[in-house]
């Protein structure tokens, strides 16, 4: 999954109040993480 898409998914879940889902997406793709997803989680 593309880093920007991953960050967008995390951001969307967080904005909808689905913090558990955002966290789940973040941790499922931890091998591919770069700056974008980290910024979305913060």
pLDDT confidence of residue 18: 95
Closest CA to 12 of 29, 31, 26: 26
pLDDT confidence of residue 30: 74
- Give residue-wise pLDDT tens across range 1-42: 788 888 899 899 999 999 999 999 988 887 566 787 887 877
Q: How far apart are CA 26 and CA 37, in angstroms?
A: 7
pTM as predicted: 0.75
pLDDT confidence of residue 31: 57
pLDDT confidence of residue 33: 61
pLDDT confidence of residue 36: 76
Q: Decide: 40 and 10 in contact? Cβ < 8 Å.
A: yes
Domain range annotation of the chain:
3-41
């Amino acid at each position: 999954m593309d880093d920007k898409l991953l960050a967008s998914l995390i951001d969307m879940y967080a904005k909808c109040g689905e913090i558990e889902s955002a966290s789940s997406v973040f941790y499922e793709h931890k091998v591919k993480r770069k700056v974008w997803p980290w910024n979305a989680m913060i």
